[in-house]
Homo-oligomer: A and B are copies of this chain.
């Protein structure tokens, strides 16, 4: 399984992903699911992937190959005019890969379903957030829906539903992403540490944070513990309410 969350608030973007991949509960591996392209002052892109790993890896490889290929004349995510056009490039690459493999995968009784979250900012545009589906279609986050999740998202959704809006500070969005991940890690064994975190402050056009949070990270453990205690205290305070 996988859990990735991207939050778009007025102050910028926060992205957080786990790194666990499994093909059955006895076949667990660690794979990076977060990919960034930072061209300071021009564009900062972050992508997170979920679903069939063979599909998403092929998409990421093709996107990178075309960036690196000087003879490639088409549009790439580094030349596309804005984030919407980047989403189109990624979506058409997804379609290309799906056309090649999805029938064979479904004939083998497996699911080729995959999804990609794209977030970032290009010069002259505001920070944007997209969700790209296997079918090559995509949607963009709006002020009404300010976060996207992929993978095993349900355990971590209630806290986001409660605290996230477009007015949320970037720091609070980061905290919410951590707590959302913490709930998911507790309830879903197939989501696991380490985590990858990426933060983009609006209009800076360069990531302010892009780092890995290891399993033994003291701050994450302290936050997780403090949150557990705070939830238990909140629960105890409900005892006085009539039911």
Contacts and interface: CB of A to CB of B under 8 A. Distances in A.
Interface residues of A, number: 38
Nearest to A183: B158
A223 to B, nearest CB: 5
Contact of A158 (B171, B178, B187, B226): B187
Given A238-B226, A241-B223, A186 B161 contact: yes
A154 B172 CA distance: 24
Interface in A210-243: 219-220, 222-223, 226-228, 230-235, 237-239, 241-243
Given A155-B154, A158-B158, A161-B187, A222 B241 contact: yes
Given A243-B174, A243-B223, A238 B158 contact: no
In this complex, the member of A154, A222, A242 whose beta carbon has the largest number of chain B beta carbons within 10 angstroms is: A154
Contact of A230 (B159, B171, B228, B238): B238
B234 A219 contact: no
A211 to B, nearest CB: 11
A179 interface: yes
A227 B238 contact: yes
Chain A contact residues, majority secondary structure: helix
Nearest to A188: B154
Contacts of A157: 155, 187
Interface in A167-197: 171-172, 174-176, 178-179, 183, 186-187
B239 A172 contact: yes
A153 B11 CA distance: 34
A151 B238 CA distance: 26
Nearest to A197: B243
Contacts of A219: 241-243
A173 to B, nearest CB: 11
A175 B239 contact: yes
Contacts of A187: 154, 157-158, 161
Given A157-B187, A234-B234, 9 more contacts: A163-B231, A163-B232, A163-B235, A172-B239, A175-B235, A175-B238, A176-B235, A230-B238, A231-B234
17 contacts: A158-B158, A158-B187, A161-B186, A162-B186, A163-B231, A163-B235, A172-B239, A175-B241, A178-B243, A179-B235, A219-B243, A222-B242, A223-B241, A226-B237, A227-B234, A231-B234, A233-B234
